[in-house]
Amino acid sequence: MQKFDYRSPRFAVDLPVEFIVDRLTVRGRCRDISAEGMRLEFWQPLPPNASGIVSLCYRNRVLEFNVRVAHAGPAHGGMEFVYTSQSERSAVAQLLALLSASTSPGPALIG
């Protein structure tokens, strides 16, 4: 019998982000997000395996999440959420619920 690894639903988005690691702030765009993490595009390479904070704007709210760079390329990166509390998990779940319910055009939900 084959084992399947199921992933959480991913939501395609186009949101501005900042990744803050040490004293470096890297600006970019969030292209998709799930309960496990997000795919980001940047204008400069990310430090591999770095941990930091991603700050993103959605509906005039700034949300911050602890993350770890899971994989990085020259212009993109996969970020894994690093949950330290249930309230952090709830914040991500609330954001995903807003994204799944969103029907307004613009920078919210693309697909």
CATH assignment of the domain containing 32: 2.40.10.220
Residue 93, classed as helix, strand or coil, is helix
pTM tops 0.85: no
Write out pLDDT tens, residues 3-56: 555 567 888 999 999 999 888 898 999 999 999 999 999 988 888 889 999 999
The count of structural domains within the chain is 1
- Position 92 in a domain: yes
- Position 27 in a domain: yes
CA distance 43 to 27: 7
Q: Which pair of tokens denotes residue 65?
A: 């999440």
Sole residue written with tokens 């319910």: 101
CA distance 41 to 30: 6
Write out pLDDT tens, residues 43-61: 888 888 899 999 998 888 8
- Position 4 in a domain: no
- Position 107 in a domain: no
C-alpha distances (whole Å) from 30 to each of 4, 33, 40, 76 are 27, 7, 4, 10
- Position 52 in a domain: yes
Hey, how many other C-beta atoms are within 10 angstroms of the C-beta on 32?
A: 16
- Position 58 in a domain: yes
Q: Which domain holds residue 81?
A: 11-100
- Position 105 in a domain: no
- Position 5 in a domain: no
Hey, how many other C-beta atoms are within 10 angstroms of the C-beta on 80?
A: 15
Nearest to 14 by CA among 38, 44, 37, 45: 38
**For residues 77-84, average pLDDT:** 94
